[in-house]
Structure 1
Amino acid sequence: MPSPIPATRLLPSHVCPSLDIGTCSSPLTKHSHGSTLQVPVQRFHGRVASRLWSTVIQWKELRSVQPVGSGGFGSVYKAEYFGETVALKKVKKCAKNKLASRQSFWAELNAAHLRHRNIVRIIAATTCVPADFGDESSIGTILMEFVGSRSLQQIIYGGAELLAEDRWLRYATDIVHGLHFLHSNGVVHLDIKPANVLVSAEELCKIADFGCSLKLNQGCEVSALSPHLSHVGGTYTHRAPELLKGEGVSPKVDIFSFGITFWQLITREQPYSGDRQHVLYAVVAHNLRPPVHGHPVFRSETGRQCRTLLGHCWSGEARSRPSAEELLPHLEQLRSRK
């Protein structure tokens, strides 16, 4: 479950100088200096605009809504919107922690104003949902580009698809390009893993699911023990040791998670086995990491270089890890040899 993060940290400063979380709770529709802050959906040549997102969903324009999947976060649907194929995500209210689930919805909007080929684009989001589209367990709805139904999780562990060296290097490079863009805009994803990376029909990786994300002020860190961060979200197998110790949140936590994901891409194996609490303790106390020494896939020249990169990415000290920007030339160099 994601952390209960204050909504003022989740949205651009010009959007929410103050907010009121109520029935129709989007701070993006609050009045600012006497005017209502609403970004209209625009259409260019029959297509939903790629540069703007809206705080209003034109419900009458939704067609052919079909379920795609569901989980603890809520449900995802495929639909047509102004003639475009889109994904519609209903964020579910968690009965045990209503504040955390509400903040998870706002965290989804951290990247709403950003546009990059390796990030899933948000088209619109709102907490104001008509009765025929919503239900009592739904906090709000997010309209996004439809990337497809494949994730890296399915490709890695599905078993049917060939995952050759040039392919997993391309996927890894896509992820790091996306992280570089997010980090340069002050957004930390906090839940990088194969299940949160979608793969398009054109074989392009896009980072998805920002429900655990955090917007940092430039050059600042946020303590994981902050009263606003009672616990840090994310998946325990990919969680950086500094988060487990309650230390600062920085973009380097995503680099650690990428390291585990990269290892999964290379080996197509699960990173850890055994009891969850044992793994968490061992990651911090005994520097436990997925096995690389003696693994056959790391015996080639490319494998040896990837093993070195992995060691840097999942270093126990955040300052010793490379940034996404520093990682890119190494991955591009490996790809150029293929």
Structure 2
Amino acid sequence: MITVMVVDDDAEVRARALRCLARPEIRLASAANGRLALQDAHRLKPDVVICDIDMPEMDGFELLSALRDDPELGKTLVMMLTSESSRDSMRLGMSLGADDYLTKPFTGEELVEAFEGLMRRRGRLDLVIDSAVRQQEAQLRRVFSHGLDGTPDDAGLLTVDVSPGAGNRTVTDGVLLHCDLRNFTDMAARLTSDEVVALLTEYGDVVGSHVREAGGHHVQFAGSRMTALFTHSPTLDRRARPRAEAAAQSMTAAAVAMSRWTTREFGDRGLPDAEIAVQLHALAGASPGWESTLAIGQPQGEGDAVHQRAVQNAHLAARAVKNALDEKLASLTDHRFMEGDAPLNLAGYRLVRRIGRGGMSSVYLGVCKADGRLIALKVLEPRGEMETEQMLRFVREYTLLSRIDNPNVIGISDQGFSNEHAYIAMEYFENGDLRGRLHGPMAPDAAVKAMLQLAGAMEAIHALGIVHRDIKPENLMVRADGSIVLADFGIAKSVASSGAAQVLVTQQGSLMGSPSYVSPEQIAGHELTPGSDLYSAGVVFFELLTGARPYQAATMLDLLKMHARAPIPLLPETLARFQPLINKLMAKRPAARHASAASLIRDLEALAP
């Protein structure tokens, strides 16, 4: 059923048009002028408007302009009726967005023929749009599939043409702002389709408002990404670059707002904090084509327009990411690689699938050919000038792990080299990490039990002179029996007085560790001791008990300042018995913390049931 509205101040013309168009599949409506038609259009949402030009109160041109400016009615097909046959009148109507033109007087056959031709064109356009939507959805699905494996997904997602001649609007002072909601696929995996739509809609509203406030002209959404265009404007105080930079800086506040929203809406899902990555790209002298973008320069209705585009993108991306997740699940069930994920050749092992990817290595699920055991293979993928440094760090990780024999520290079974790769074979954890188990606060008894196991792991590595430097829930793996295992020694350091593992391959002044769990001495660049790991363990303990990290800030710099100087936060009254332990673990001075992990174990045992 489609709705057709005939608008003409001549009652006879209206009646004749309604008679000619009367069909079971068409709902008909009419109005005597543009003002009345616009009122009814908001209620009826017509698919087609056939309107006269010369009418009292609001003429056809004014009605056409109002329809095109309305976010809900902007796509309505409009056929203009007029007794004027001048080219100027037709040109004006077409410039305002008319879809067709019919000159009075017209016969019934001419009206029906024009109407059917308009509908055929709309049908072809719908096919083109549907095809484009399907292609975009398929592209998003591929991108999200790679994202689930940890593969960088930058390629081809935002297809903004910045080549000369791409459009008829030359930009001499243009800047593109790219924003990406990081961890989106991780979030989507823990949400329903409707919740993914809500998440991306909120994201679009939040970042769109910041772009609008900074004077951005266009917005393009593509999955978890948004691109905005800033150009020089004589009506704004600043040129394009400063406005784009202001919008980029405001994305920190946008990320904080998104984190608060996700906590409020999905606090029990264990979603990671929202992070928005930002990139600026100069367009000096380029001519980008922005036909697929949303202009937001008009003062009226722009917020609704951005919201509408955000909603459209959210529905498309939700379907794409859920399809990607379904495909990923099927590949996991079938023990097969995704398309384009060709297996490596490592002697003695059959690789099943990639299960993770970091900055310098990938982790694969494999099968040991000798005994059929499932194992995890961490494979080094050295890149460019950093290859030597990465190899040193990778070898050091094996050196450190090979010295440890403790049930709460990840075990390794092999190290080797293929023609192109170095690899470490280690224990596989099908239940993932502790982060995936955090759906709000953990029961206090369970938190103490987990901390006892972590403390046992720290006691073992510290006894060998090893400081982990990156203790956090993501590096605490969970076995099938629920026990906790400390993993990922990629940035661990030996502080022993001798041995090859002393080599420190990080540049002086670089921060090794995760900002939310880093110790004050790590921030200051001071010597690291086992107490540095104890501080990070205190942050983890606080999070296990409360479901939230002790320090949260709008910027990483502010977060680091809080770790360095802010008072230790208080636990809720119901958890007050754990406050002395938290205070000791998170003391700013290393000397005020536990003397050793063994000391921590004694305090935890005193709190255990």
Instruction: Report the TM-score, using the length of structure 1 for normalisation.
Output: 0.69
- 1:328 counterpart residue number: 601
1:167 to 431, 443, 446: 446
Residue 227 (structure 1) shift: 8.9
Q: 1:91 to 1:263 in 2, by over 3 A?
A: farther
8 Å Cα contact 2:509/2:525 also seen in 1: no
User: Following the alignment from structure 1 to structure 2, what is the Cα–Cα distance between the partners of residues 152 and 227?
Assistant: 27
1:250 aligns with 2:529: yes
- What SS does structure 1 have at the residue aligned with 2:489? coil
Aligned to 1:72: 359
Q: CA deviation at 1:102?
A: 2.7
User: 2 CA distance for matches of 1:145 and 1:89?
Assistant: 10
- What secondary structure, in the 3-state scheme, does the structure 2 residue paired with 1:65 have? strand
Instruction: Give the SS at the match of 2:438.
Output: helix
In structure 2, the residue matched to 1:4 is none
Offset at 1:74? 2.2
Q: Does 1:111 align with 2:405?
A: no
* More displaced 10-residue stretch of structure 1: 174-183 or 92-101: 92-101
8 Å contact kept, 2:347–2:418: no
Partner of 1:234: 513
d(CA) in 1 for partners of 2:470 and 2:481? 24
1:294-305 pair list within 5 angstroms: 295-296=571-572, 299-300=573-574, 303-305=575-577
**Equivalent position SS for 1:305:** helix
- Summarize deviations over 1:138-196 as a string: whole Å, max 9, x none: xx211101132421111114x6xx83222111111100000011101111101101100
Q: Amino acid of the residue matched to residue 518 of structure 2? A: R
Local SS of the residue matching 1:87 = strand
- What is the one-letter code of the residue matched to 1:117? P
Q: Is the 8 A contact 1:78 1:85 kept in 2?
A: yes
Once residues 227 and 207 of structure 1 are traced to their aligned partners in structure 2, the CA distance between those partners, rounded to angstroms, is 22
Aligned residues: 256
Deviation at 1:94, TM superposition (A): 4.7
Work out whether residues 455 and 597 of structure 2, in 8 Å CA contact, stay in contact via their aligned partners in 1. Answer: yes
Q: Which runs of 4+ in 1 moved over 4 A?
A: 225-230
Q: Say whether 1:150 aligns with 2:439.
A: no
Q: Does 1:275 align with 2:562?
A: no
Q: 1:245 to 1:163 in 2, by over 3 A?
A: closer
State the structure with more CA Rg: 2
1:183 to 2:462 alignment = yes
Q: Secondary structure at the match of 1:143?
A: strand
Following TM superposition, by how much is the alpha carbon of 1:282 offset from its aligned partner in structure 2, in angstroms? 3.1
User: How far apart, CA to CA, are the structure 1 residues paired with 2:488 and 2:553?
Assistant: 25
Aligned to 1:310: 582
Matched residue SS, 2:488: coil
Which of 388, 412, 425 is matched with 1:122 structurally? 412
RMSD: 2.6
Note the C-alpha offset of 1:106: 2.4
Per the alignment, residue 543 of structure 2 pairs with: 264
The DSSP-based 3-state class of the residue aligned with 1:120 is coil
By relative contact order (CA 8 Å, sep 6+), the higher-ranking structure is 1
For the pair 1:203 / 2:492, whether they are aligned, the reply is: no
Q: CA deviation at 1:129?
A: 1.4
1:90 to 373, 379, 389: 379
Task: Tell whether the 8 Å contact from 1:148 to 1:198 is kept in structure 2 after alignment.
Answer: no
8 Å Cα contact 2:351-2:364 kept in structure 1: no
Deviation of the 1:226 alpha carbon: 10
1-structure distance, mates of 2:465, 2:590: 17
Q: Distance in 1 between matches of 2:558 and 2:546?
A: 23
TM-score calculated relative to the size of structure 2: 0.39
CA distance in 1, matches of 2:450, 2:467: 20
- In the TM superposition, what is the alpha-carbon distance from 1:228 to its structure 2 partner? 6.8
Counterpart-to-counterpart distance in 2, 1:145 and 1:287:
39
- Label 1:73 to 1:165 Cα distance change in 2 as closer, same or farther (>3 A): farther
Structure 2 distance, partners of 1:319, 1:93, is 39
Distance 1:229 1:84, change over 3 A: farther
Task: Report if aligned partners of 1:174, 1:205 keep a CA contact under 8 Å in 2.
Answer: yes
1:71, distance to aligned residue in structure 2 (A): 2.7
What corresponds to 2:423 in structure 1? 141
Q: CA-to-partner distance for each residue in 1:113-145, whole Å, 9 max, x for gaps?
A: 21110000011123x2145xx4xxxxx211101
Stretches of structure 2 lacking an aligned partner (at least 5 in a row): 1-344
Counterpart AA for 1:62: Y
Write the letter of the residue equivalent to 1:201: A
SS in structure 1 opposite 2:423? strand
Note the C-alpha offset of 1:95.
4.3
Corresponding residue SS for 1:269: coil
Structure whose residues are more often helix by fraction: 2
Identity of counterpart residues, as a percentage? Answer: 24
What is the deviation of 1:78?
1.2
> Residue 68 of structure 1 contacts residue 149 of structure 1 at CA under 8 Å; is this kept in 2?
no
Aligned partners of 1:250 and 1:275: how far apart in 2?
27
Q: Is the 8 A contact 1:156 1:264 kept in 2?
A: no
Give the residue type in structure 2 aligned to 1:243.
Q
Structure 1 contact 232–243 (Cα < 8 Å) conserved = yes
Map of 1:27-42 to 2, 5 A cutoff?
Answer: none
